[in-house]
């Protein structure tokens, strides 16, 4: 891959979703591959104290990187968590000899710049069963699982999410952290700008509207799914993040929108209760609503030079040397 191609796939990778648009990833080009590192300086200590969502976000960036490389005609040979001595080194991707791109992967690659996190209420149109099957298959291709919630499960989720949200809003530290990353001006390159939440109720009351009151018909509500894993180790979260992005790109290619249901997956006790509601033994990693929404603008990303590292040095120990991505020698 030449320098232009390397820069192209890295820019694509930065378009992945992340919690509060923190963009907690770093990349290093080694000459034979691209390393993906977690940017631990961007962890959310209140919202995400164990870094689970940071790893999920990096997993989404990893799948995007793999997809962009594949779409250029290279095989992205990927090694997960290659170094026990460096836990922030999450993966190494080595582009191998050129090959004909898979049309299905090329379709996902075309969806990368079109994907949005749509926080607005969705239309009541039902997601077709074949599309749901395609989303579930996308999850399984990345070694994860995607149970959907229906009927009584959705009503239990509605109540669970409301309780978890109240717990979060009662914590001044959570409010302060949320404020640092949301309702930002258009000039910022990370966080959630104010225009991205226009039309979305601040208190997430859409959840009540879309799921309805007890006894109401939930069949016309947007699809609610969980991306989960059989165990809850760091590598499971990395794989779940890859599954998340494959699902999101598959949904985008099918004309669907998606967004995250956060409180009941981020509050520890609520997440445990959600696992009990699912009843299938899967550890819930991501909770999504999927449906048909209205168009909305793109959220910002940091410049590529801000996420490229030559020699990794923590911001706590000094500034990071930044480099432009060079060519990769493919084999």
Beta strand pairing call for 192-193 and 182-184: parallel
pLDDT in tens, 36-50: 999 999 999 999 999
Contact in structure between 76 and 19 (CB atoms under 8 Å): no
Contact in structure between 236 and 301 (CB atoms under 8 Å): no
Higher pLDDT among residues 45 and 197, named by residue: 45
Higher pLDDT among residues 45 and 188, named by residue: 45
Token match 């989960």: residue? Answer: 228
Q: 163 burial class (0-12, 13-18, 19+ CB within 10 angstroms)? A: middle
As a CATH number, domain 3-114+302-307 is: 3.40.109.10
| Average pLDDT, rounded, for the chain | 88
Give, to the nearest 10 degrees, the angle between helix 52-71 and helix 234-253.
Answer: 50
Domains 3-114+302-307 and 129-291 share a fold: yes
**Superfamily designation of domain 129-291:** NADH Oxidase (3.40.109.10)
Q: pTM for the full model? A: 0.90
Q: What residue segments make up the domains of the chain, in order of their start? A: 3-114+302-307, 129-291
Let me know how long the chain is: 331
d(CA 158, CA 208): 7
- Taking the CA of residue 156 as centre, how many other CA atoms within 13 Å lie in the half-sphere pointing to its CB? 14
Predicted local distance difference test score (pLDDT) of residue 22: 96
pLDDT bin (cut points 50, 70, 90) of residue 297 is confident
Contacts of 16 (CB under 8 A, 6+ apart): 25, 57, 60, 61, 63, 64, 245
Mean pLDDT of 49-78: 97
């Amino acid at each position: 891959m030449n320098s232009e191609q390397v820069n192209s796939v890295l820019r694509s990778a930065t378009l992945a979703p992340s919690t509060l648009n923190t963009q907690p990833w770093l990349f290093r080009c080694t000459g034979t591959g691209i390393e993906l590192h977690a940017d631990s300086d961007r962890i959310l200590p209140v919202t995400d104290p164990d870094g689970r969502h940071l790893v999920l976000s990096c997993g989404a960036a990893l799948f995007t990187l793999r997809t962009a490389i594949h779409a250029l005609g290279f095989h992205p040979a990927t090694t997960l968590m290659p170094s026990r001595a460096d836990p922030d080194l999450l993966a190494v991707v080595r582009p191998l000899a050129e090959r004909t791109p898979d049309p299905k992967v090329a379709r996902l690659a075309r969806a990368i710049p079109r994907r949005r996190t749509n926080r607005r209420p969705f239309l009541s149109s039902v997601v077709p069963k074949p599309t749901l099957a395609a989303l579930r298959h996308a999850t399984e291709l990345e070694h994860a699982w995607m149970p959907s919630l229906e009927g009584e499960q959705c009503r239990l989720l509605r109540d669970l999410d409301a309780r978890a949200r109240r717990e979060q809003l009662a914590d001044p530290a959570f409010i302060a952290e949320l404020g640092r990353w949301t309702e930002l001006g258009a000039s910022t390159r990370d966080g959630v700008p104010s225009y991205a939440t226009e039309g979305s109720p601040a208190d997430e009351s859409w959840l009540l509207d879309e799921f309805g009151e007890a006894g109401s018909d939930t069949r016309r509500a947007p699809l609610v799914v969980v991306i989960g894993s059989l165990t809850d180790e760091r590598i499971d979260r990395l794989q779940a993040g890859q599954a998340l992005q494959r699902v999101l790109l598959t949904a985008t290619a099918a004309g669907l929108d998606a967004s995250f249901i956060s409180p009941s997956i981020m509050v520890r006790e609520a997440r445990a209760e959600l696992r009990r509601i699912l009843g299938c033994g899967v550890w819930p990693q991501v909770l999504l609503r999927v449906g048909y929404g209205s168009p909305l603008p793109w959220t910002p990303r940091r410049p590529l030079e801000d996420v490229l590292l030559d020699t990794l040095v923590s911001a706590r120990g000094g500034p990071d040397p930044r480099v432009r991505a060079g060519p990769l020698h493919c084999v």
